[in-house]
Amino acid sequence: MAESTGAEERGIRFTLEEVAGAVGDFGTIFPILLGVAIVCPDVNVSHFFLFIAAWYIIAGFYYRLPIPIEPMKAIGAIVIAGGLSGGEIVASGIVVGALFLLLGLLGGMTWLADRIPRSVIRGVQAGLALLLLRTSLDYILNDALFAALSIGIILAFFVASQRTRIPDISALIVILIGLCVGIVTQGMPPLRLIPLPSLIIPLPSDFIAGTWELAIPQIPLTLTNAILATSLLTHDLFPKRGVDPDRLSRTIGAMNLISTPLGGFPMCHGAGGLAAMYRFGARTGGANIIAGVFILIFAVAFAPPEVLTLIPLGVFGALLVFVAIELGKHSIKTESYAVTGAIAVLTLVIGLTFAFIIGMIMAYVLKAEVSSPQAGR
């Protein structure tokens, strides 16, 4: 149901409802950013949190609506599964940022999105889910006790969030429990300030790998979920203040071109995140500002790199399962199970980029076969 009260005109509020909505999209932020930091030692997770927090706050003031900021899931999942370098992550953010800034300025969002079949997008989501599930097994098998405990907490919150207005903050709870256990068993790491971000200039080889391995699989997800679906949902929930897709494209472009060269992780918006924030009470940009402050606390907490070692591996395994389920549950909404299934399976065999290309060819071939008999009538 769309918001029809004066909340739309006020723009920014700081109420208990906004606080509850602020944490509604935390489910995938922490698992992806922490998972990348574990497998990629040349990144700084405190910078990841710092820039996510900054753009949450900026988006709150700019849109004056609860527009979420999320790590790019395809890039995150592939890095976690394949262990790419920090330079390749930065390169992918620059490539994706430049593309979406250009599309937003030229008004080309709808044109490009119309040329990527939904079955291909669902296949990419399913493939990412399988990659994360495969990666999570190593963490779970190495620490079955904490994995079982974490999965139990995640399932309990999932059920509660579906039946009540309790926000699903299971990822946050699980991470905090893991940190407490680590501090008790290993001791408190020394407090440090967040190091100042410095400019990272990727090598030509980083741009080649970052574009091929990371940017290409991410583009269809950003087009559909982060931009078009988010724009549509803003018009549904806030009819007087719906956000144009080209405007969302421009902010995605800007925040990646500014942040990733300074050590931030590639970021986007998300329809699922907006729906979650709205469901738990977010109605204004105040929820974004509150979320940004919360995440900023994590940026400070994770300034010492030793903090990552405090969290049991089983916790990460459970969180990756959670993210995989979030991605996979959408993949069943497809018009071609053959295309979606082929991309998912091929992702495990030959990689997501090749699977995406083959899926595109399959989708257009099947579309041509369906259209040919109709044209001959």
**Predicted confidence (pLDDT) per residue in 22-77, tens digit:** 887 877 788 899 889 988 988 999 999 999 999 999 999 999 999 999 999 999 99
pLDDT exceeds 50 at position 9: no
pLDDT for res 53 = 96
pLDDT for res 291 = 94
Residues 6+ apart with CB under 8 A from 197: 47, 50, 262, 263, 264
**Predicted confidence (pLDDT) per residue in 193-229, tens digit:** 888 999 999 999 999 999 999 999 999 889 888 898 8
CA angle 73-78-80, nearest 5°? 95
Query: For tokens 């990659």, what's the residue?
Result: 131
Residue 305 or residue 237, greater confidence? 237
Closest CA to 217 of 284, 104, 127, 99: 127
**Predicted confidence (pLDDT) per residue in 311-321, tens digit:** 888 888 888 88
pLDDT exceeds 50 at position 5: no
**Predicted confidence (pLDDT) per residue in 21-33, tens digit:** 888 787 778 889 9
* CA neighbours closer than 13 Å in the CB half-sphere of residue 140: 17
pLDDT for res 372 = 65
Q: Name the pLDDT band for 6 (thresholds 50, 70, 90).
A: very low
Mean predicted confidence (pLDDT) in 96-124: 87
* Cross-strand partners of 71: 267
pLDDT for res 10 = 56
Start-to-end C-alpha separation, the chain = 44
Calculate the average pLDDT of the chain.
87
Helix (H, G, I), strand (E, B) or coil at 44: coil
Tokens of 17: 């409802």
**Predicted confidence (pLDDT) per residue in 118-132, tens digit:** 898 888 888 888 988
pTM of the model: 0.84
* CA neighbours closer than 13 Å in the CB half-sphere of residue 348: 13
pLDDT for res 4 = 45
Mean predicted confidence (pLDDT) in 149-162: 85
Strand-pair category, 70-71 with 267-268: antiparallel
**Predicted confidence (pLDDT) per residue in 319-347, tens digit:** 888 888 877 877 788 889 999 999 999 99
pLDDT for res 374 = 58
Find the helix packing angle between 245-259 and 230-237, rounded to 10°: 130
Q: Name the pLDDT band for 254 (thresholds 50, 70, 90).
A: very high
Residues 6+ apart with CB under 8 A from 95: 207, 210, 211, 215
pLDDT for res 20 = 82
pLDDT for res 1 = 45
**Predicted confidence (pLDDT) per residue in 244-253, tens digit:** 999 999 999 9
**CA 156/CA 232 separation, integer angstroms:** 31
Burial class (CB in 10 A: 0-12, 13-18, 19+), 354: middle
Mean predicted confidence (pLDDT) in 268-287: 88
pLDDT for res 377 = 57
